[in-house]
Amino acid sequence: MSEPQEIVLLGKNELVGVVAQLYAEGYRLVQIGCNTLRAAYELNYSFDKDYLFKNLRITVTPGEEVPSISAIYQNSFLYENEIHDLFGIAVTNISVDYHGTLYRTSIKTPFSVDNVRLPEPPKQKAEAPAQKEDRPRQQEAETEGPEGQKE
């Protein structure tokens, strides 16, 4: 049985205050993940306490800066540098800032909105009516006996 996972939607200006509160309550930082959306980025900050997850989610547009939480959770500087290097999101006040050199990639910010081509969602197909050829076969199948013999 899986436990319910809480996702809290925040504005970027609320992030540091909420993270500080989680730290004071004894939560540990599990991960910071980022996803590219059509014209924005979704950042998920996952925390754990007593095997229960709490996830903070913020959405930012290209060019927006995100405040660092490395003053609260020191190890977050690696996640934040990774997000900067791979997505191109500026993270302000990182305790250890690699200035875009944490990763060497052939494409600068390979997961940025400009570099990711998201597929269009599939179009819904209209359900086709049964063809005339299918109907007699269905009727024959209904009248067959236990060993495939017609009754």
In a domain, 129, yes or no: no
In a domain, 126, yes or no: no
Distance between CA atoms of residues 124 and 126, nearest Å: 7
- Intervals of the chain under pLDDT 70: 1, 128-151
In a domain, 81, yes or no: yes
Q: What is the token pair recorded at 100?
A: 């875009």
pLDDT at 124: 83
- The number of folded domains in the chain is 1
* DSSP code of residue 57: E
In a domain, 151, yes or no: no
Q: Strand 65-67 and strand 90-92: pairing? A: parallel
In a domain, 64, yes or no: yes
Distance between CA atoms of residues 86 and 109, nearest Å: 4
In a domain, 67, yes or no: yes
Domain membership of residue 41 as a residue range = 6-92
Distances (CA, A) of 8 to 23, 43, 139: 16, 12, 55
First CA to last CA across the chain, in angstroms?
Answer: 49
CATH of the domain at 84: 3.30.460.80
Distance between CA atoms of residues 51 and 56, nearest Å: 16
